[in-house]
């Protein structure tokens, strides 16, 4: 009888333990979902006053950030197209992740090439808006996981043109200069809706590393990259393609 009673106590303990654990896991999942929706859904209507990257840039480098939000309609269609052509040509089609580019990057790595980035515009928005710059390998992989989660929810809660609008406004385009408006004023002395096609291409060409490249540079690398972007824009179908894609 004592043995049977002891078994019942052990069973009761583990039954209560797993019930509480399931409750805690469910609560954590629901809490994570609510938190994620709370920081993504309002972006449909509220323009972010800053981003994690801007804030960290200001703190780490002790400098003022130039950032001025511009409505989507007040940004040159040429710049919208140039950025898509340069960074994420399947942007209207994917759901935050371009699996073709990911597979291509992995294949190139297996062949011995340097691992290249395959981040979509949505992933870059998630990273720039919310996250930190990873240093250690663990830190980078942890950030990638959080970035993927946030990118998925940005796609769920925001239309594509809103994601593109946020990207164009918070992307770093020069040291301490963020967004199309600040960059257009800094480099060309005009607003983001007034820049020419060539200026839009030159701005998009700095995005791999705006700390190093400038739209005013005329190096061979920059010339080749600008020519490639201009060709991709033409192959996509020009700015008419934006409207056909719902952008």
Report how far residue 136's alpha carbon sits from residue 103's, in angstroms, rounded to the nearest whole number: 24
- Report pLDDT for 44: 96
Helix (H) or strand (E) holding 174: strand 172-174
Distance of CA 59 to the CA centre of its chain: 21
Helix (H, G, I), strand (E, B) or coil at 136: coil
Question: Going residue by residue through the chain (247 aa), what tens digit of pLDDT does each one get?
Answer: 556 666 666 666 676 778 888 888 988 889 999 999 999 999 999 999 999 999 999 999 999 999 999 999 999 999 999 999 999 999 999 988 877 766 665 565 555 545 445 689 999 999 999 997 766 677 788 888 999 999 999 999 999 999 999 999 999 999 999 999 999 999 999 999 999 999 999 999 999 899 999 999 889 999 999 999 999 999 999 999 999 999 9
Per CATH, the architecture of 47-244 is what? Answer: Orthogonal Bundle (1.10)
Give the CA distances from residue 29 to residues 36, 78, 152, 158, in Å, rounded to whole numbers and listed in that order: 11, 42, 16, 21
**Does an H or E element contain 36, and which?**
helix 2-40
Which among 26, 29, 42 is positioned nearest to 154, based on CA atoms?
A: 42
CB atoms within 10 A of CB 218: 9
What pLDDT sits at residue 115?
44
Chain centroid to CA 123: 3
Place of tokens 């019930």: 19
| Local structure of 247: helix, strand or coil | coil
Q: Which residue has the tokens 């291409």?
A: 201
CA 146, chain centre distance (Å): 12
For strand 177-178 and strand 66-67, is the pairing parallel, antiparallel, or unpaired?
parallel
How many CB atoms sit inside 10 A of residue 35's CB?
10
DSSP state of 76: -
- The pLDDT, as a whole number, for residue 103 is 65
pLDDT of residue 116: 44
């Amino acid at each position: 009888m004592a043995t049977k009673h002891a078994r019942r106590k052990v069973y009761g303990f583990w039954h209560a333990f797993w019930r509480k654990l399931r409750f805690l896991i469910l609560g954590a999942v629901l809490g994570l979902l609510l938190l994620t929706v709370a920081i993504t859904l309002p972006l449909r209507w509220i323009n972010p006053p800053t981003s994690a990257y801007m804030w960290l840039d200001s703190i780490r480098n002790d400098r003022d950030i130039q950032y001025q939000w511009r409505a989507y309609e007040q940004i040159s269609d040429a710049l919208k197209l140039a950025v898509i052509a340069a960074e994420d040509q399947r942007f209207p089609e994917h759901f935050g992740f371009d699996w073709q580019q990911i597979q291509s990057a992995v294949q190139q790595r297996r062949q011995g090439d340097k691992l290249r980035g395959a981040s979509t515009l949505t992933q870059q928005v998630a990273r720039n808006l919310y996250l930190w710059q990873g240093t250690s390998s663990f830190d980078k992989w942890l950030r990638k996981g959080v970035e993927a989660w946030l990118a998925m929810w940005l796609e769920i809660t925001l239309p594509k043109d809103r994601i593109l609008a946020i990207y164009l406004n918070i992307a770093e385009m020069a040291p301490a200069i963020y967004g199309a408006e600040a960059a257009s004023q800094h480099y060309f002395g005009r607003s983001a809706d007034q820049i020419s096609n060539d200026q839009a291409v030159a701005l998009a060409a700095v995005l791999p590393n705006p700390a190093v490249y400038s739209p005013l540079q005329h190096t061979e690398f920059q010339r080749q990259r600008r020519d490639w972007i201009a060709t991709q824009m033409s192959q996509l179908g020009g700015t008419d393609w934006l409207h056909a894609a719902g952008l």
